[in-house]
Amino acid sequence: MINDVAKKFNGIPLSILDLAMINEGSDAGQSFKNSVDLAQHAEKWGFNRFWLAEHHNMPGVASSATSVIIGHVAGATKTIRVGAGGVMLPNHAPLVIAEQFGTLDALFPGRIDLGLGRAPGSDQATAYALRRTLQSTGDDFPLQLDELRTFFKNDPSARVRAIPGEGSNIPIWLLGSSDFSARLAADLGLPFSFASHFAPTYMMHALNLYHRNFKPSKDLERPYTMLGINIIAADTDEKARWLATSHQQMFLNIRKGITTHFKPPIDDVDAVWSELEKAVVTELLEWPSTIVGSPETVKRKLEAFMEMTRADECIISSGIFNHEDRLRSYEIVSELME
């Protein structure tokens, strides 16, 4: 579960969630180069894992072929765990995911994580294009999950076998932004990662459900939670707030139904939103979902977040336009780790 060379912040390992953002004026190829460079730095700095998330039909996100990018990043690193945060299982046949991640595990043994979500991660038209049918929905996620886990078992007598895949000991995580996956992860005795970086309202409710209902399993003896958090760090609070305007623009465009490349920071963010939009986005992107500031600010607010949630691990997303600024943000966080 924990990388042997990972460092910790107040006894808690920290990880990275990368969306492989495509910047305005750039392309997917450069996005992947940036992801690899970030993962290599993250490994050197002592982060525990590096996850990529499945999204589709979004001009600003390049991680649609998630397993391919995981292999690319894992091949360019040596020790850091690499995985999906996550694969949206309703979009795929469980056998295909078992084969893909079985292949990754064979290539990079002991370093691959499989985080699974039940949302489609796209609109209905895109979901249809992915699955050719809308009959598969999040409602049958438990059945799909059971089928996937069956393919990972070592059963030579099975009529359909995942090769590679069967016999693989790949950690499976359930991801969620509501209580559904919290309940399912607790019932199955699996680790649980909550998307508190964009759904902070339900965070404590989901955590309490997970801890209260957890049943030990062969995979996990005690509950294990990893919480998402946005951190935009810079050497001063002022610069961090300026960098954060890219992240604010992204969430504003999502709310308005606009798909676009990731925007550069701007000097006057109030010029691009109404008072209502400002209130909605600001409420979503304030503590505890988001920390923006200098090293001192990040340390204080991250300590408060951990004290409140009692998380076993945190996974950090940093929506920063310039690659060097993003590296510096994670470097600042790494300097706070033991």
Per-residue model confidence as pLDDT tens digits over 146-175: 999 999 999 989 999 999 999 999 999 999
Least trusted range by pLDDT, from 23-37, 113-127, 170-184, 245-259: 113-127
Burial class (CB in 10 A: 0-12, 13-18, 19+), 25: exposed
Q: What is the pLDDT of residue 291?
A: 98
Mean pLDDT of 200-217: 96
| Domain annotation covers residue 126 | yes
Q: What is the pLDDT of residue 136?
A: 53
pLDDT digits (tens, 9 = 90+) for 4-47: 889 999 999 999 999 999 999 999 999 999 999 999 999 999 99
Mean pLDDT of 101-121: 93
| Domain annotation covers residue 272 | yes
Q: What is the DSSP string of 162-205?
A: -TTTTT----EEEEESSSHHHHHHHHHT--EEE-TTT-GGGHHH
| Domain annotation covers residue 234 | yes
- pLDDT tier for residue 129 given thresholds of 50, 70 and 90: confident
Judge whether residue 133 has pLDDT over 70: no
Round to whole Å and give the CA distance between 250 and 253: 5
pLDDT digits (tens, 9 = 90+) for 38-89: 999 999 999 999 999 999 989 999 999 999 999 999 999 999 999 999 999 9
| Domain annotation covers residue 3 | no
Q: What is the pLDDT of residue 283?
A: 83
CB atoms within 10 A of CB 185: 30
Domain around 99:
8-335
> What is the pTM for the complete model shown?
0.94
Better-scored residue on pLDDT, 190 or 3? 190
How many domains does the chain fold into? 1
Quick check: helix, strand or coil at residue 259? coil
Burial class (CB in 10 A: 0-12, 13-18, 19+), 11: exposed
The total number of residues written for the chain in this structure:
338
| Domain annotation covers residue 2 | no
- pLDDT tier for residue 284 given thresholds of 50, 70 and 90: confident
| Domain annotation covers residue 1 | no
Q: What is the pLDDT of residue 125?
A: 78
Judge whether residue 121 has pLDDT over 70: no
Instruction: Tell which residue, 66, 188, 49, has the closest CA to residue 121.
Output: 66
| Domain annotation covers residue 199 | yes
Q: Report the CATH number that the domain containing residue 195 is assigned in CATH.
A: 3.20.20.30
| Domain annotation covers residue 20 | yes
